[in-house]
Structure 1
């Protein structure tokens, strides 16, 4: 099985032929091709074949397939099973290889475990692991703890780490840009951010895009965001999509949104659903709204429930509308009451009608209208 065959499978997936891609990937796995298992778990997961994807993930642990294990960990995280995801990714991250470290930290971030991430990075830094030290410095920089970030990178430079030397130079340029921006010296800030962006500091490239966008220079903003988006920066991917949508370039906005969605960003799931809905691809939009709703997005739950209701799929619509109605929006409760009436569920309808009356009473300042 050759790399060309694997490329053919990847193209089949992009062309919307998952069955063909699966057949090629299974043959590649049988022939021991590296990377095929990672492709197959992606196909299975995107096709909603959860049990098969998880079984393949477990197999990847048994055979030591690191790439597939990382994907498996992210799949579990996307389903809210953060403890399981962490248990898979932690041993990989402790090797201090950049990709597993990045995957592990991404899951901790998704789980809202920022303190745990910093604690682990500090432990790994104390153990002398340079990759963890770089990630800790980046985290500190993002949180404007610049002095400590510079000290960490300087320690790596002293040990002959050329990458840390370049990072240190980038941080100095970025910090100068931040200071200039905070003092409303925008032209100077643009210059510093451009220098840091040229040195491949993604955060600076994103900041440069924001500066251009705020000044109404949308073409320059798009160029800056696109540079950072090419490095799979989720903030940049979302910003790039927003700039293009603001110019009614829906076709151009879709690729960065899809990429951010593939990387597991819930905001991208919702925004992609909105874009697909606006371009009359409602079944596809529904799938993304449901995914965002399952991750706890009340607005996505309302959209998913409303679409399912329109498609006359009442049993599927009801839990989404109930989830959205729990946020206390009266319009949502009205839609839910209509659905309950069609299902002839009078007890549930009565409960939600009482809830609606309570909300109206509160809105009137506690006085009867």
Structure 2
């Protein structure tokens, strides 16, 4: 018996999910577009993920903007993130505000970062205070980091101590960053270790950077290599920057290139510095 259109679309969605799991997002997108056209219920979310994984930001906008405009605010946050990547900041802010207004508390983090980058730090902090009170773990940690960036160590310390909880590992990492600024290095060391044990998102790279500054490059490299092993966000730039700072330029270059390929502007600047050229020459 011939396969029904619905069954075919469902099979295509399964194929697309498998390609995503194999790290082949561009191929997955080709399959998932067919699945979406065939009406597979899971295809839309999978296709958005494929576009994100491949950095296809314009495709994300083309896919999601009509849906958000029609009132499907589930996708407003991801639309906003894609617009940020395209440097369409005014539209990105509007989309992220829609997401936050619809009750998507985690979207406050992306909106706060956008506001911070535009120099609107007071607005960003206020937004994160509300999100942290609503129980968002990342907002509490980001609040501390923004206050540190603003040079307000007392406020950062107060927030870090208020929200620190082992049930929210990112807050332990934020407290470690505060302890460094306070000069309480032994406390910071213990907190970085604990954040890593609890699975905080960037614990290994943060601890590696702390150890490097503390004058223990061997221990720092172990942390950076562990960050690589577990594919911690930002690991490639962190390791590449460390190796470059240690004078190991040939080793640093491929890691910086990985980060550049992922769209890391800091890595592009670091690679240009290695080559003695301006970043816009790449």
TM range (shorter): 0.5 to 0.7
C-alpha contact 1:73 1:89 (8 A) present in aligned 2:
yes
Tell me how large the CA RMSD over aligned residues is. 4.3
Query: What's the counterpart of residue 299 of structure 1?
Result: 278
Q: TM-score, normalised by structure 1?
A: 0.54
Question: Runs of 5+ in structure 1 lacking a partner?
Answer: 279-297, 305-369
| Aligned with 1:140 (options 136, 140, 147) | 147
Q: How many residues align?
A: 260
CA distance in 2 between counterparts of 1:25 and 1:176 reads 47
- Shift of the alpha carbon at 1:244? 4.2
Query: What's the counterpart of residue 240 of structure 1?
Result: 239
1:282-339 deviation line (CA, Å, top 9, x unaligned): xxxxxxxxxxxxxxxx9233x14xxxxxxxxxxxxxxxxxxxxxxxxxxxxxxxxxxx
CA distance in 1 between counterparts of 2:105 and 2:163 reads 16
Query: What's the counterpart of residue 135 of structure 2?
Result: 130
Q: Cα–Cα, structure 1 residues 172 and 22, in superposed 2: closer, same or farther, change >3 Å?
A: closer
Query: What's the counterpart of residue 41 of structure 2?
Result: 32
Q: How does 1:153-172 map to 2 (within 5 A)?
A: 163=167
C-alpha contact 1:205 1:227 (8 A) present in aligned 2:
yes
CA distance in 1 between counterparts of 2:94 and 2:211 reads 42
Q: TM-score, normalised by structure 2?
A: 0.66
Query: What's the counterpart of residue 323 of structure 1?
Result: none
Larger of the two Rg values belongs to structure: 1
Q: Cα–Cα, structure 1 residues 212 and 7, in superposed 2: closer, same or farther, change >3 Å?
A: same
C-alpha contact 2:108 2:131 (8 A) present in aligned 1:
no
Question: Runs of 5+ in structure 2 lacking a partner?
Answer: 1-9
Q: Cα–Cα, structure 1 residues 180 and 273, in superposed 2: closer, same or farther, change >3 Å?
A: closer
Higher relative contact order (CA 8 A, sep 6+): 2
Q: Cα–Cα, structure 1 residues 151 and 97, in superposed 2: closer, same or farther, change >3 Å?
A: farther
| Aligned with 1:120 (options 127, 133, 156) | 127
- Shift of the alpha carbon at 1:115? 3.0
Query: What's the counterpart of residue 6 of structure 2?
Result: none
| Aligned with 1:78 (options 85, 90, 100) | 85
CA distance in 2 between counterparts of 1:109 and 1:175 reads 19
C-alpha contact 1:180 1:188 (8 A) present in aligned 2:
no
